[in-house]
Structure 1
Amino acid sequence: MPLTRSLSMSSLSGVLPQWEDDELPVNDLLLFEASWEVTNKVGGICTVIQTKAKITVDEWGDNYYMMGPYFEHNFQTQVEECEPPQPAVGKALEALRNNGCQVHCGRWLIEGSPYVILFDIASAAWNLDRWKGDLWHSCHIGLPYHDREANDALIMGALIAWFFKELTDELGDRLNVVGHFHEWQAGPGLILCHFYNNLHTFDIDKEAGDRQIYHRYCLERAAVHCAHVFTTVSQITAVEARHVLHRQADVVTPNGLNVKKFSAIHEFQNLHSICKSRIQEFVRGHFYGHLDFNLDKTLFFFIAGRYEFSNKGADIFLESLARLNYLLRDVTVVVFFIMPAKTNNFNVESLKGQAVRKQLWDTAHSVKEKFGKRLYDSLLKGQIPDMNAILDRDDFTIMKRAIFATQTQPAPITTHNMLDDATDPILTNVRRVGLFNDRCDRVKIIFHPEFLSSTSPLLPMDYDDFVRGCNLGVFPSYYEPWCTVMGIPSVTTNLSGFGCFIEEHVSDPSAYGEDLHRGPAFRSADDSCNQLTQFMFSFCQQSHRQRIIQRNRTERLSELLDWRYLGRVSVSLDLRQQLGKHTRVSKVRLNRAYCLQFGFTQV
């Protein structure tokens, strides 16, 4: 299958000089980064581009733009509309608007406030059939009518290519343009900007055809071979790309994080405690009426990302949790699955649980105030209060009514109403392994089929805060490119980018997490499940002090993955070395059919 979340392709226009100094001449360059997830949260790529935005803006300033699709809700809630600082960019955008294509520009309201250019797919859909024909005549890639995602990707790619043509015509020789394209959805833009047709030399990937994604694979493969610089986020995806896409990665650019450093260890630990208490409050509501386990002896595990059941290792994880359930005695583990799926609303029982929890809190505070006042009055009189009389009948009535309100069925597995409950992979396997949140179960499951947000009425926490409040992240993934290292230990695989990175740069990975081998190339699925089960069981047996020590070690490790280090190395050094090789590149080169369509002269 295509390496759709692991690759990035870079192209450029203009004549680039050989750079011999140590600094990239960003004043003479415009950098455009294209991704389907700019202002559009779909998976991990959105987190990648968000977290490295500040370090890129610090280095490139107003010469840096992100490009993606326009969605009205995302634009209204995340973007402050404004005009671009370069007149040439503004004129290129205006040229598209004058031809009936809607395009929006503004500042993305994230750290760094980068400029974004968002293309309205629907406004240009009138030309889809022609662009499909051009794609077929140019490189023999056909897109089926029913694949809306691929069709939308082609429209955005055509608009990006059109924009670049207008921009380079306006700029002339004043500035050079660098384009950085993420994932296969952004690939059509690179293909239409710069394409040479040599696909006939490649063998057709039967597996892609069997999975009915051959056209997507072809788009990605063509984009890879059109790029001047081809990068992957790990050595493992570089190996896959060499065999599947028939091109060796020029540069491996690991993904990083915005790492918040603390002046003292206790500040970091206090933040973990605060975030954990917020998760505990949610758990109290979710398990109301069945909160028969000690939250002080409860650990929080999580897995998060795109809902790809096998690729993300949710199958391995669930099987291992079922085995862990038989081993645990005194410790309870609450496991969160944070993976977006099709839902129609919040689960009524989940919302009711949080309402009941709030009611109990208010009742307890009301009784506490009465109790405290009467106790205080009695002590002022020099009397030891009669504890049986200090609370009257009404107080007991209020408390009993609150207790009766907590009587309910076992806590729900999901926080939302699932549209495909009967066929959902996670729920189907939960039924298979029998983890139903019964009182006897020491492993409890909470499936949250939506990305986390601080504005949620159910679990009002941003992802970063949620992760900090958990005890362990579990990522038995085939292609997980990075893991959120915010002082939280994690277990991952040596088949993922993050696992390989840690294996290469850390002498003792077991002090921070476990390198879990999985897959037929290394060991059987059963062996992988046993290994993961044993790791989680050993983690549960650690003392509170041991977990604190491990979190401190992991927090120190996070500096290795900071964008302040990886971003400058990747952007400056690698681009200087790789892009500097291309000294005979002219302006954006469009394929002939595309140029004829818009009346351009091919350059």
Structure 2
Amino acid sequence: MTKKQLTPDFIFESSWEVCNKVGGIYTVLSTRANTLQKTIQDRIIFIGPDVWKEKESPYFLEDRKLFAEWQWLAKDQGLSVRVGRWTVPGEPIAILVDFAPYFEKKNEIYGWLWEHYQVDSLHAYGDYDEASMFSYAAALVVESMYHYLQNHCDQFPTSHVVYHANEWMCGLGALYINNKVPEIGTIFTTHATSIGRSIAGNQKPLYDYLFAYNGDQMAYELNMQSKHSIEKQTAHHVDCFTTVSDITANECLELLDKPVDVVLPNGFDNRFVPRSTAFDKKRKEARKRMLQVANALLGEQLTDDTIIVSTSGRYEFRNKGIDVFVEAMNRLLRDRDLKKKVLAFIEVPGWVGEPRKDLQERLADPQAQYDSALEVPQVTHWLHNMGHDNVLSMMKYYDMHNRREDSVKVVFLPCYLDGHDGVMNLTYYDVMLGNDLCIYPSYYEPWGYTPLEAIAFKVPCITTDLAGFGLWANKTFGHDGELKDGVKVIHRTDYNYSEVADIIKDTVADFSNMSQAEIDACRSNAVKLSKKALWSNFIKYYNVAYDIALRKAETRISKNKNNNQ
């Protein structure tokens, strides 16, 4: 007889990206929140850093009445917190904590960490201290609130409580809770190992040699000892260790010497994808704006039958495959099978200076047409490091200057698409709608939200089987994904860069030869696949993780009781 799954009465979850939109983890947590709210309304509590202080946060709405009694208690305990709601679907409770006061106790905290868990904080630099102090503060919040709920709130059951820490940045807090509040089940999710990302980012072959790498040795070689140490010790000591894909699970086993307990794939909430008529209207608007920007920059009249493609994500030139994207577009310039013009956007935030005034002047009159390109017609915003930027340098090396005779134009849009960038002035999701095809040829990508977002917006995409999402797509299809399936999954290795670039080039050329009926089928299959990745389908993996953590906590409590008798 199988045991009934234990379910949490309360979940505390911390991340540097709670109410702080800086990366993909923000999307993971903010879209999952709605599903959790439906099952344990207002008993999922997110804890994030108070990076806003006195400024108004666009992602957080303070509510002094929420847990008002505890807020006073927390203040008496020296905790500086703001309680409110995260302004995302489901509006979960969020607590923002000021971690600055703990810097003066830093050495004492690190000493405790070494004494109890042998975490090496001696080699810390960069964001290690900031993340650790936040993590410590978040754990104090959980400890304080847990005891408050137990002692003051009879209406809330508190026998099953989980603390979920995301990334090495929250590892210290997970270890603190593990030690100080053993009744709470702890979960740790690594979204990418710090060492794996560093190996890949330092141009070393990760996959063929993964079995031979020693994580501790590589941490020493790459000056990553402290981040690796906290990540490894947290993985070994929490009740349930998780990651986001099979490919990263393998990485954890080899580099952290710890198999994961559960893989938690990243789901999606498609409620903000526009429906039917609104969708078509927004798609037309996006395409019109993208072509307007390109035409003003290039001094051309690209029409609506131009194929618009893009890549996007963090500016990790090799890891995200931005280098392969540029390579593929360069090769596409000479491809005789290409039947339409291609406009390729690279939507990756760089070290942006300001929007181009000359481009803004041209865009001020949407009816105007120009027959000469602006100076440097490859970029929409000036950068601080024009001479050393990877994208611009590679385009210069290949002599890609968006000449009038070129059938492929590549435009670098190096800013966050928040709707206020000064040139495109559309949000990322609105721009996404205008694409015909999205291309994400990742080399290192534990999951891959960008391709999942693309297909949710009916945009077929190209990715690789070195992305967790690509592997999942192949597994779901039962074969290697092809463009007609909505997702083309290219086999990528440490060494087949050139082959990947050729396959992308050929796929775009093939797409230019497709009939409208074939394109419609592609788009329809893309959406079908995206629906299989909704949180409603993926939350079951989290339920397994909660069960594991709660059972371990139960075992620990009964063992402690027996030892004390």
CA–CA separation in structure 1 for the residues paired with 2:165 and 2:65: 20
| Alignment partner of 1:543 is 2:518 | no
Instruction: Select between 126-135 and 468-477 the one with higher mean Cα deviation.
Output: 126-135
- Counterpart check, 1:572 vs 2:543: yes
Contact 1:455 1:461 in 2 (8 A): yes
How many angstroms apart in 2 are the aligned matches of 1:220 and 1:574?
18
Pick 1 or 2: higher relative contact order, CA cutoff 8 A, min separation 6: 1
Q: Displacement, 1:120?
A: 1.9
* Alignment-derived partner of residue 205 in structure 1: 216
1:572 Cα offset (Å): 2.8
**Is the contact between residue 471 and residue 489 of structure 1 (CA under 8 Å) also seen in structure 2?**
yes
Residue 116 (structure 1) aligns with = 94
Distance in 2 (CA, whole Å) between partners of 1:195 and 1:534 is 56
Distance 2:273 2:235 in 1: 41
Give 2:171's aligned residue: 187
Taking a change above 3 Å as real, the CA distance of residues 276 and 82 of structure 1, as seen in their structure-2 partners, is same
Q: Which residue of 1 aligns with 2:528?
A: 556
C-alpha separation in 1, matches of 2:509 and 2:122: 48
Are positions 1:48 and 2:57 aligned together? Answer: no
Shift of 1:71: 1.9
- Looking at structure 2, the residues matched to 227 and 288 of structure 1 have their Cα atoms a distance apart, in angstroms, of 55
Where does residue 198 of structure 2 map in the other structure?
none
Structure 1: distance between partners of 2:397 and 2:376: 18
Give yes or no for contact 1:62–1:115 (8 Å, CA) kept in 2.
yes
Deviations 1:169-191 (A, max 9, x none): 33448513211111121222112
CA offset digits 1:415-474 (Å, max 9, x no partner):
222122222222221222222222122222222222222344422323222222211121
Q: Which residue of 1 aligns with 2:356?
A: 347
- Find the aligned partners of 1:269 and 1:315 in 2 and give their Cα distance: 37
The CA deviation at 1:204 is 5.2
Bigger CA radius of gyration: 1
| Equivalent residue for 1:306, pick from 305, 308, 314 | 314
Q: Matched residue of 2:388: which SS?
A: coil
SS of 1:67 mapped into structure 2: strand
3-state DSSP of counterpart to 2:529:
helix
CA distance in 2, matches of 1:30, 1:319: 49
CA-CA distance at 1:409 after TM superposition: 2.3
For the residue of structure 2 that corresponds to 1:344, the secondary structure is: strand
Q: Say if 2:269 and 2:534, in contact at 8 Å, map to a contact too.
A: yes
Q: For structure 1, which segment, 553-562 or 279-288, has the greater mean C-alpha deviation from structure 2 after superposition?
A: 279-288
8 Å CA contact retained: 1:472, 1:490: yes
Asked if 1:513 corresponds to 2:494, the answer is no
The one-letter code matched in structure 1 to 2:313 is G
Match of 1:431 among 391, 396, 401: 396
Q: How far off is 1:229 after superposition?
A: 0.9
Q: Is 2:180 the counterpart of 1:215?
A: no
* Structure 1 residue matching 2:523: 3-state secondary structure: helix
In the TM superposition, what is the alpha-carbon distance from 1:106 to its structure 2 partner?
0.9
TM-superposed CA distance for 1:273, in Å, is 5.6
> Secondary structure at the residue paired with 1:530?
helix
Match among 146, 159, 162 for residue 178 of structure 1: 162
Q: 1:348 to 1:167 in 2, by over 3 A?
A: same
Report the equivalent of 1:375. Answer: none
Task: Tell me: CA distance 1:186–1:577, structure 2 relative to 1, closer, same or farther (3 Å).
Answer: closer
Counterparts of 2:114 and 2:222, CA distance in 1 = 21
- The residue that corresponds to 1:150 in the other structure is 128
Query: Structure 2-normalised TM-score?
Result: 0.82
Q: In 2, distance between residues paired with 1:32 and 1:19?
A: 27
Instruction: Name the SS of the counterpart of 1:194 in structure 2.
Output: helix
Contact 1:492 1:516 in 2 (8 A): yes
- Structure 1 CA distance for aligned equivalents of residues 103 and 360 of structure 2: 40
1:271 to 266, 276, 279: 279
Pick from 47, 71, 77 the counterpart of residue 51 of structure 2.
71
* Equivalent residue, structure 1, for 2:293: 285
Q: CA deviation at 1:290?
A: 3.5
- Contact 1:290 1:411 survives alignment (8 Å): no
What amino acid is aligned across from residue 115 of structure 1 in structure 2? I
Cα displacement (A) at 1:275: 2.1
Alignment partners' CA distance in 2, 1:222 and 1:504: 32
1:272-299 per-position Cα deviation (integer Å, ceiling 9, x unaligned): 5632432322431343274435322212
Judge conservation of contact 1:320–1:533 (CA < 8 Å) in 2.
Answer: yes
Partner of 2:17: 37
Q: Does 1:479 align with 2:490?
A: no
CA distance in 1, matches of 2:28, 2:441: 20
User: Is 2:118 the counterpart of 1:107?
Assistant: no
Change (3 A) 1:455 1:346: closer
- Displacement of 1:499 after TM fit? 0.7
SS of 1:307's equivalent? Answer: coil
- Supply the distance in 2 between the matched residues of 1:187 and 1:118 (Cα, whole angstroms): 18
Deviation at 1:241, TM superposition (A): 0.8
Residue 304 of structure 2 corresponds to residue 296 of structure 1: yes
1:195 CA drift (Å): 5.6
Contact 2:124 2:227 in 1 (8 A): no
| Cα contact 1:492–1:499 (8 A) shared by 2 | yes
Cα deviation per residue 1:214-250 (whole Å; 9 max; x = unaligned)? 2111111112112211111111111111111111111
Which amino acid in the other structure matches residue 228 of structure 2? Y
Secondary structure of the residue aligned to 1:492 is strand
Q: Please state if 1:443 is matched with 2:426.
A: no
Structure 2 Cα separation of the partners of residues 564 and 289 of structure 1? 43
Whether the aligned pair in 2 keeps the contact of 1:318 and 1:429 (CA below 8 Å) is yes
Matches within 5 A, 1:326-345: 326-327=334-335, 330-345=339-354
Question: How much does 1:257 deviate?
Answer: 0.8
Contact 1:285 1:355 (8 Å CA) reproduced = no
